[in-house]
Amino acid sequence: MTPTWVSHAIWWQVYPLGFVGAFPTPEGSAPPGPGEHRLRRLAEWFDHAIELGASGIALGPIFASRTHGYDTTDHFRIDPRLGDDDDFDYLIAQARARGLRVLVDGVFNHVGTDFGRYCDATRDDGAAHWFRGRSGRFHTFEGHSELITLNHDNPDVVDYVVDVMAHWLQRGADGWRLDAAYAVPQQFWATALPRVRERHPDAWFVGELIHGDYAAIVEQATFDSATQYELWKAIWSSLNDGNFFELDWALQRHNTFLASFAPLTFIGNHDVTRIASRLENTDHLPLALVLLLTIGGVPSVYGGDEFGFRAVKEERYGGDDAVRPEFASPPLSLDDFGAEIWRLHQFLVGLRRRHPWLHAATTTALRLTNRHYVYETRSGDDALLVTLNVDNEPLRLVLSELGAARAEVLAGSSAPPSDVVGELTVEPHGWRILRPA
């Protein structure tokens, strides 16, 4: 059963190795060592997370690795470039002092070539049995020779993963993002996760899924949640193409997921082009954020998106680096655009927190054209009306034609709050959030 605290969760996600300047290492310089305690720099930003309205910090990889964090060499050790166990304990204590949850990120599909048992595999049959294939021809993850696939049929691998997850939950983590979960046999998760829950029943587990039958995979793997990549793609694609039919199709699928689990929703993360760069018209950035924070699920904001950061992911070695930048100490100096986007994030996250029922809300299209989308988001007796207009002309609406005689305007791109209206006009590339009166 999904822990109750998740229904109020709003994550602020960071990629620690980049955030603190530990990766990539500038050419010609030595990588940072544990004496630098860089992990503690994240705590400097916890008050910012509170100001944003987040209830938790979703960390990227923090365990010992050679490069980007997903080539893990020791799951029981904090990456020396970040610090050590004491630094993790400090981070947890600082989060707890502010009421923030902490989600850790682990990849259990594959390991790096410095992983101890891989180093022993050529001379130890027991070690070799930890990996798929045979010594000298072990399977790799998506063709990456430095990422060696674990043998998920080996009971020793199951025991190891259970012990790793329980270890960091015991040290204060609240849950796990399971990287590349789609590549791992579902039976492996169905065997391992219940054992972890026996020790930590309040933990939350979200599997990284890209495509497929999300609901079936979540059920069979016993995840609590899954990454909602389908909806992420539909949000920016529909806004770019002026095709809200794509978005509505994705939201109908999203409704079916919500019947059994609350997906992890996002418009940006450490693996994708930032939303401010992905959208062809930055006037549509507020519309993407409105969608994220008025639909069901567990929303996550990727650090920097709340300032309107721009960066493009490239399909090459090091192509993720631009979307995983180093952050200076807060506060950042923002231009007018960044300040506007920051204020909008604060307002909409605050609206989400004032309407916690949105966690389980489903959506129904009330008006759907290529460039206009009006939807009701509802859970039980609670409901909001959301209007999006990506056309170059104003959108005029008579609320009685949508099933609501009058509504209170809560927010909009050009709207005074608290007006109770029966008709409204939404300016080109604008939006409104209303509450039926």
Note whether 273 and 321 are within 8 A (CB). Answer: no
CATH number of 362-436: 2.60.40.1180
* Nearest Cα residue to 59 out of 35, 37, 82: 82
Model pLDDT, residue 415: 72
Compute CA distances 349 → 12, 223, 265, whole Å.
11, 26, 13
CATH 3.20.20.80 corresponds to the domain 4-359: yes
Model pLDDT, residue 386: 98
Note whether 380 and 358 are within 8 A (CB). Answer: no
Model pLDDT, residue 420: 86
Report pTM: 0.96
Q: Is the dihedral of CA 21, 25, 27, 33 positive or negative?
A: positive
Cβ neighbors of 245 (< 8 A, separation 6 or more) are 238, 368, 370
The Cα–Cα gap between 102 and 95 comes to 7
The Cα–Cα gap between 238 and 288 comes to 10
SS (HEC) of 158-206: HHHHHHHHHHHHHCCCCEEEEECHHHCCHHHHHHHHHHHHHHCCCCEEE
The Cα–Cα gap between 140 and 161 comes to 19
Half-sphere exposure of 38 (CA within 13 A, CB side): 22
Which helix (H) or strand (E) segment holds residue 397: the answer is strand 395-398
Mind listing the pLDDT tens digit of every residue in the chain (437 residues)?
789 999 999 999 999 999 999 999 877 677 788 788 999 999 999 999 999 999 999 999 999 999 999 999 999 999 999 999 999 999 999 999 999 999 999 999 999 999 999 999 999 999 999 999 988 899 999 989 999 999 999 999 999 999 999 999 999 999 999 999 999 999 999 999 999 999 999 999 999 999 999 999 999 999 999 999 999 999 999 999 999 999 999 999 999 999 999 999 999 999 999 999 999 999 999 999 999 999 999 999 999 999 999 999 998 988 999 999 999 999 999 999 999 999 999 999 999 999 999 999 999 999 999 999 999 999 999 999 999 999 999 999 999 999 888 999 999 998 777 678 899 999 999 999 999 98
Cβ neighbors of 281 (< 8 A, separation 6 or more) are 239, 240, 390, 429
Segments making up each domain of the chain, as ranges: 4-359, 362-436
